Amino acid sequence: MNFSIDSTVTLNNGIKMPQLGLGVWQINNAGAAQSVEWAIKHGYRAIDTAKQYGNEAGVGAGLTKALADNGLKREDIFLTTKIFNGDQGYESTLEQFDGQLKNLQTDYVDLLLIHWPVDGKYLDTWKALEKIYQEGKARAIGVSNFNVTRLKDILKNGSVKPAVDQMEFNPLCQEGDIKNFCQENNIHLEAWSPLGGGTVLNDERLKKIADKYHKSVAQIILRWDLQQGIITIPKSVHEERIVQNANIYDFELSDDDVNEIKGYDEEKRSLWYGGFKWHGNPTGASDAVQDWDDSTEYAK
Ligand code: A2P
């Protein structure tokens, strides 16, 4: 398999998306600007943020600087952002999205996702995403953290098929049902926290495989994503790790090792284990949705 940092997958509306990108969850504005600059300098061509992260302005600043510094154009970069839970609903999504573009210093995003399935609202939110898509302000639209039931709901009620479902995905959390459903329906699975937020890096079995290839565990996991056709967006605030995470094109995992790692699945979602509260609102905007599903129910 011939991969490079420029390798793309073709989404179901025909547009190409880089398979490796930088994720910026849990980075502040200044840190996000710096990480984006490093990533683009070192060849990354995709960046993934969200209003919920509170760093769209930092990403916008970093992107603008990196384009200038590296002689790149906006269309050279694939930019993803997501709709904030508190903004969900048809009118409020449309109203708030223009502010997101302003913070990102761009007039379009490449991929716009519904960040979480706010029950009772996500179908209206999807209609707003379809309008944004038709207006050309998003080149593709998709969802995040949607289980099979909710994906089916979108497929039944929407007029545009989601291009992507971005899920927590790593060797201990392999989203079997969702992965299969996405494959059958030509929806690309994208891995958030592909390194399990760092927790999977200490797995002794993965360390053994890493030693065999003279690579780090992070590199093994990211290469494993690539070889399965999964889009992956590791986060780091360290330049050397950003470089390391993109240094995955000079080796190939054997089929046996790909399958070996597939056997490590524990259906373990770290987000909920860590007790992370998604009602927390780093943006300062009002979070109107107090009763959306923030339990382990979300992906059943
Ligand atoms: P840091 O940002 O301090 O480099 P995920 O993408 O799964 O959410 O994982 C991100 C976590 O893993 C962060 O804590 C990040 O720390 C850490 N991390 C990212 N890349 C590497 C790497 N190559 N080696 C070790 N830790 C890494």
Instruction: pLDDT tens for the chain, 300 residues: list them.
Output: 789 999 999 999 999 999 999 999 999 999 999 999 999 999 999 999 999 999 999 999 999 999 999 999 999 999 999 999 999 999 999 999 999 999 999 999 999 999 998 889 999 999 999 999 999 999 999 999 999 999 999 999 999 999 999 999 999 999 999 999 999 999 999 999 999 989 899 999 999 999 999 999 999 999 999 999 999 999 999 999 999 999 999 999 999 999 999 999 998 776 543 334 444 333 333 333 333 333 333 333
Ligand 1 atom 10: residue of nearest CA: 197
- Are the C-beta atoms of 155 and 185 separated by less than 8 Å? yes
Ligand 1 lining (C-beta closer than 6 Å) = 23, 193-198, 201, 216, 218, 234-238, 241, 244-245
Q: Report pLDDT for 169.
A: 96
Q: Could you tell me which of 184, 181, 228, 161 has the C-alpha nearest to residue 19?
A: 228
Backbone phi and psi for residue 171, each to the nearest 5 degrees, phi listed first: -55, -25
- 3-state DSSP assignment of residue 230: coil
pLDDT at 118: 87
Atom of ligand 1 nearest to the CA of 35: 2
142 forms beta bridges with 113
Atom of ligand 1 nearest to the CA of 235: 6
Give the pLDDT of residue 119: 84
Helix axes 204-213, 217-227, angle to 10 degrees: 80
pLDDT at 242: 98
| Nearest residue by C-alpha to atom 27 in ligand 1 | 198
Q: Is 44 a known active-site residue?
A: no
Please, what's the b/e burial string for 8-47 (b: 16 or more CB within 10 A of its CB; e: otherwise)? bbebbeeeebbbbbbbbbbbebeebbbbbbbbbebbbbbb
- Helix, strand, or coil (residue 35): helix
Residue 214 CB-density burial (10 A; 0-12 exposed, 13-18 middle, 19+ buried):
exposed
Q: State how far the Cα of 275 lies from the Cα of 174, in Å rounded to an integer.
A: 20
Measured CA to CA, the distance from residue 176 to residue 167 in angstroms comes to: 11
pLDDT at 273: 36
For the whole model, what pTM was predicted?
Answer: 0.92
Tally Cβ neighbours within 10 Å of residue 93: 24
Helix (H) or strand (E) holding 189: strand 188-192
Q: Please tell me the distance between residue 150's alpha carbon and the centre of ligand 1 in angstroms.
A: 30
pLDDT score at 279? 40
Q: Which of 48, 241, 276 to mutate to test the pocket of ligand 1 (most atoms within 8 A of CB)?
A: 241
Provide the phi-psi class of 132: left if phi over 0, else alpha when psi is between -120 and 50, else beta: alpha
The structure tokens listed for 220 are 């093994």
